[in-house]
Structure 1
Amino acid sequence: MTTFEREQGSPRLIALGIALFSWLVFVFRLSVPAKPVFDEVHYLPAARALLALSQPTNIEHPLLAKELIAVGLHLFGDGPFGWRIASTVAGSATVAGVFALTHVLTRRTRPALLATVFALLGFTIYIQARIAMLDTFMVAFLIWGIVLLSSAIRDGSVARWSAGSVLMGLATACKWTAAPYVAAAAITFVLMRRERPQRWPGLGTVPALTLLGGLSVLAYFLTFAPAFFYAHDALTLHTLPRFQWDMYLRQTQKLPPHTYQSTWWTWPLLIRPIWYLYEPVDGAQRGILLLGNPAVMWGGLVAVLACYQAWVRTGAARLLAPAALWTFSVAIFAIIPKSLGFYYYYYPSSVLLCVALAVAIDYHRAALGRWVELFLLLVFALWLYFLPVLSAQALANPAAFHRFTWLNSWV
């Protein structure tokens, strides 16, 4: 066993414990509400079609996330629990991935646990882990792909680089939003290889890029296998490329205005969140507000700036990486040709922001002192305050939303 593997033994057990604890949090009252919420109305029929192998449905997105939702339907039935159970697994993997990524960057458990707290109490993972949507699965594969690729870049492990490449392909197979991260990984590897070529003796530039591209593309296309067995309009090797083009055309088509549409620059500022649900259901008025924890989201923006500033002074990659990842995750949407944007597109960025916040606090821990504990209390207090509209609890009356809408644009 290598020194690196011995050092990672304890963090691996911690990550497993984090995943289990997170899953228990997410699965509690999972069947409330007992009706499809927001985009579940699109993805549940698609999952049913995959389960029955009937015909193509919801063809503007790849299949993997819908296949995983279908697994939940198969194992636990076509009801609220079965609809969302796979999402709870993906959400718990995402929280554990935040721990792992922070540990890879800092090589310390304390900041990794701090990032985990921000992830659990940051609202967005909690909400996405309890709804059958594609983004939940995409981010789970994406965060672990980044973990493995980052670890491989550091120690030259071909096995981790290969596994990370596969996960990046699987993330893209959930939603195309993950595809730019594959290109970013390739560019990052080339730049770091040029700077310190002696650090990665097991990964030559051409073999590494070939593995990244080849394995990610292979993993992506393998997820289309069930569509070759549809009873109607089954895919073939001849029609598979055309199906990708059809997805592209649907992704870039001009769509009519939407009540909750927003532009990418508003997402970090929490200007226009989304009410996934607000109506009488299951015998009571209930709501689900997709909103990031204001302390984590706004504090995270300060942390990103602090990471950049500290990197300029020190040149430390652990400070640049989380800030650059968050910046890249937002910049994607300034470039992607989408006619409409929504706050849930910010979900990957909100997860990466937890890492940047923990890394910045860890770097400035001596100067911050007890302020860190007070900040954690604020994060937890806000989580308790908003919990009724994060978990679809029964509200007092139809006007109860006023308590949770701090800004007029939150209505």
Structure 2
Amino acid sequence: MLDRLKALRTRPWLVALLLGLAAQTLFTVHLDRPSRIMFDEVHYVPAAQALLDREGPRNIEHPLVGKELIGAGIVLFGDNPFGWRAFTTLAGTATVLGAFAFLWLLLGSMRAALVAAILTTLNQSVYVQARTAMLDIFLGAFLLWAMVLMLWAMKGPPPQVKRRWIGAAVLLGLAVGTKWAAIPYVALAGFAFIVIRLRDARRAKNPLASALSGKDQPHWPGLGLLPGLLILGGVSIATYFATFFPAFFYERDPLTFARLIPLQQEMYALQTQVLARHTYQSDWWSWPLMLRPIWYFYEWDAGAQRGVLLIGNPLIMWGGLVAVLACLWAWLREHAIRPGAIALLWIASLGIYVVIPKSLGFYYYYHLSAIFLCLALAAAFHHFDRGRDKGREEWFVAASLLAFLYFYPILAASALSDAQGFRKWMWFPGWL
């Protein structure tokens, strides 16, 4: 199937356009279901409305970018479910296209890039988050595209390399301006830059000090190590603080330059406070096993019983764990760097929640890791197929589509038969 699209193999922009149209259509259909605020929209929609009204600080435990984008949707489409969620659908589409672009740049394979994009669309986490006015879909889109630009910057003329690198730093700043969970990724980006530079020097049998120079570098030519790190840190920090600009115009308790740093301290205190137990809380180790999904909504709405369950696609979520192991195997036994890098990315994305000081965890924190599982699956199929075009990934994509269609009614707030209609999808007691 995928390998027969020969005419599209050299037209990634056309393929990306078609993917984007398909994803945006999927995320937008029946976006007004449910017709009321659900789950954590109760925090972010009022905060976005307060920003628009310049009312004053609200939901200050998180920065402003996600709420600014939700507010933009309200300005364009009105204070209604479509307006609340309009920009999250765009972020969902950007996430799908980011997965495509990342694998295209990393592996140079149209088949792998398409598989990654389609699996990202079908992993269910992206679908639900793209239709919910929360922050994580923006976080994922910004971080994924920052990775794309960093990867794109690895090759090219020095002026283009620097522009792309600066673009990546801006996106990292916007990601941190959405949720502080992005901060470790800025550090990981800098660490990866250093490791690759040192590895290049070792492979070229040059002194390690040569990694500092931007000259004659196989990756990021023209970009010195220290200037690259300074740009990454400086531009991302400047972008982050620039996102607070609207808060200077609040009618009540407007932000000032003198209060900008104390505000960060207040945000940290709120982020690290010990919270009361929550019905849907879960520990980081349970997320890959999908032990505790979250009902975002389960009420009578628009003349029917409807529900929205944040639950991953079992085939992708559990199959993705096998793919991570396969990518690690390819790296350790066959020195396949690219699959290994994706596996390490998934491990790091989960490890972040082992160390950050949060008193409660929730399954939606796994959103980014779930995207990286889709990349790992595509990379594993690509690596172990070894160009033989056996089509195993096509069967996997088809099975994932069937699983998505099976869960669709409780992902999209479709009308259920009655108040107990949800039980047919509850495979385990923890899913109730």
**TM-score when normalising by structure 1:** 0.96
The more displaced of 129-138 and 314-323 is: 314-323
Give the counterpart of 1:260 among 280, 287, 290: 280
Shift in Å, 1:369: 3.1
Q: Paired residue for 1:176? A: 180
Q: Paired residue for 1:4? A: none
Which whole-Å CA distance do the structure 2 matches of 1:271 and 1:386 have between them? 16
Amino acid at match of 1:220: Y
Amino acid at match of 1:264: W
Which whole-Å CA distance do the structure 2 matches of 1:316 and 1:261 have between them? 37
* Structure 2 SS opposite 1:394: coil
Alignment of 1:350 with 2:370, yes or no, is yes
Which whole-Å CA distance do the structure 2 matches of 1:340 and 1:387 have between them? 28
Runs (5+) with no aligned partner, structure 2? 1-7, 202-216
Superposed, which structure 2 residues align to 1:3-402 within 5 Å?
10-155=11-156, 157-197=161-201, 198-200=217-219, 201-365=221-385, 369-402=390-423
* Structure 2 SS opposite 1:153: coil
Shift in Å, 1:309: 0.4
Amino acid at match of 2:80: G
Cα contact 1:361–1:368 (8 A) shared by 2: no
Which whole-Å CA distance do the structure 1 matches of 2:403 and 2:422 have between them? 16
Cα contact 1:252–1:339 (8 A) shared by 2: yes
Shift in Å, 1:370: 4.8
Q: Paired residue for 1:3? A: none
Which whole-Å CA distance do the structure 2 matches of 1:237 and 1:8 have between them? 51
Q: 1:257 to 1:189 in 2, by over 3 A?
A: same
> How many residues in Structure 1 have an aligned counterpart in Structure 2?
405
Amino acid at match of 1:295: L
Q: 1:9 to 1:209 in 2, by over 3 A?
A: farther
* Structure 2 SS opposite 1:203: coil
Shift in Å, 1:38: 0.5
Which whole-Å CA distance do the structure 2 matches of 1:196 and 1:370 have between them? 35
Amino acid at match of 1:178: A
Write the deviation string for residues 293-334 of structure 1: whole angstroms up to 9, x where unpaired: 000000000000000100112323211121111111000000
Which whole-Å CA distance do the structure 1 matches of 2:142 and 2:184 have between them? 14
Cα contact 1:153–1:189 (8 A) shared by 2: no
Amino acid at match of 1:396: S
Which whole-Å CA distance do the structure 2 matches of 1:202 and 1:17 have between them? 35
Which whole-Å CA distance do the structure 2 matches of 1:360 and 1:371 have between them? 11
Which whole-Å CA distance do the structure 1 matches of 2:152 and 2:326 have between them? 24
Q: Paired residue for 2:213? A: none
Q: Paired residue for 2:214? A: none
Shift in Å, 1:158: 1.3
Which whole-Å CA distance do the structure 1 matches of 2:12 and 2:318 have between them? 29
Shift in Å, 1:375: 2.1
Amino acid at match of 2:101: A
* Structure 1 SS opposite 2:177: helix
Shift in Å, 1:203: 1.1
Shift in Å, 1:19: 1.9
Write the deviation string for residues 33-54 of structure 1: whole angstroms up to 9, x where unpaired: 1100110011011000111111
Amino acid at match of 1:385: Y
Write the deviation string for residues 159-212 of structure 1: whole angstroms up to 9, x where unpaired: 111100110110110001111000000011011101114313311000000100
The more displaced of 258-267 and 117-126 is: 117-126
**TM-score when normalising by structure 2:** 0.91
Amino acid at match of 1:351: I
* Structure 1 SS opposite 2:361: coil
Amino acid at match of 2:421: A
Shift in Å, 1:338: 0.4
The more displaced of 77-86 and 8-17 is: 8-17
* Structure 2 SS opposite 1:288: strand
Amino acid at match of 2:399: L
Cα contact 1:169–1:218 (8 A) shared by 2: yes
Which whole-Å CA distance do the structure 2 matches of 1:347 and 1:380 have between them? 19
Runs (5+) with no aligned partner, structure 1? 1-6
* Structure 2 SS opposite 1:395: coil
* Structure 2 SS opposite 1:385: helix
Amino acid at match of 2:41: E
Cα contact 2:9–2:110 (8 A) shared by 1: no
* Structure 2 SS opposite 1:285: strand
CA RMSD between the two structures: 1.6
Q: Percent identity?
A: 49
Cα contact 2:122–2:400 (8 A) shared by 1: yes
Shift in Å, 1:8: 11
* Structure 1 SS opposite 2:365: helix
Shift in Å, 1:374: 2.9
Which whole-Å CA distance do the structure 1 matches of 2:13 and 2:64 have between them? 30
* Structure 1 SS opposite 2:256: coil
* Structure 2 SS opposite 1:350: helix
Which whole-Å CA distance do the structure 1 matches of 2:241 and 2:17 have between them? 30
Cα contact 2:115–2:397 (8 A) shared by 1: no
